[in-house]
Chain A
């Protein structure tokens, strides 16, 4: 029942199209707000606009890894096939967004910190979060038995532990990265209302885009299962690691 191939792998075209349309409209509004309406920062100048891509990308990566966690629970329990496809799509999207976070952070850092890359706790744990999920994808691709797939699901569940570590790394350790402004433990830091609004719309746009990408990926990736040894040309879904030292 769960693996019946004719069953649609995700919501049909109409909800998906509505989601894609909402994502498109929100993204257009977000771009105008981030590039035109929001003022440059008093200290960082125009470079601060990278925040409107960097923060949503990081948030969406967290969200993807939360989806991996939830989807992997039934995989661990009884090797569920559909949640496994969702977990794989979410991990792939999450790894791509982690790479985008590191890339935008690097450019922003070059313009404000004065360096492209530092191995401070925030950057180090973010790279580790990406690598853990690359390892999860590889484990999933290699799992051909029920037992192995359940073990891979456990990697996906435990991998989520990296999310709070990354988010709180700037609080737990002294980093070059500044502490959080909005999702901060205790009181956050002051941010001009227009900047907060812009960031909010950007986060919403990125979340919708991520959801649309995830659904598309689940649909296209659902028929594929583990890479079987008999078919050497079969697709291995694990992407290349994005940032290794």
Chain B
């Protein structure tokens, strides 16, 4: 499809979702906080396409900026952002399991506490090796085993490198979950609890909101934010600048504090991809935990007991044996 057509389609879809969101908001007041505060009419009229396909004119004061609103068409969400090749670099030397990335991710994606799209593991590669914290999100592989096995094209690889899921298409066979060697994907086993402000949002694979029971979901590298030039919340929230996110084509990655050359960073710090031998070609690179900024215990001592249990077998192997 030609670019203009995509844009045209995108514009229409945008207008449509905007109209739906606004009309829903004004009519039934489901977005309680955003529309209860009555604004004075500005006099500016905006033309919108109603769900019935009619052009309606409403006052611009009724329009609210809504986060997580689908700003692209389904088709564009499948194609990806032209010219981009997203990449992430995780500096293991900087991680102290502060878990700010997790909470930011959970908050942004409205995830319940238990299901984490982004997790931090405590890895210990061999008996004598030193343990290290290992943040892990979706690797957005260039040869994704999950995409290969999806029977309905619900999970797909985009030209900008992202692997996304369309939860309107997903039949919930979980084949992708069995196929992902990194156990990245999570399933909505029960009806997800959705807060009022996202319940009625128009779904788009780029936002992943709202979640649906019986479908698969995972870390999406926040493409809706990338479109607006924003970093993913995990990158922003990290107090130590562990995550660098950027564009391989531009050869620039940013951790919120500094923007550096991707190739230089990988070259200088010995970047590698996790389990390269599987041939999945991840788009996430790791920098080895050399010259660490924090002792590994720093991420363990202050955890609450339930979280501590996760890492007990690595941190206190003797205790486990008893």
Q: Verify that A and B bind, or say they do not.
A: no
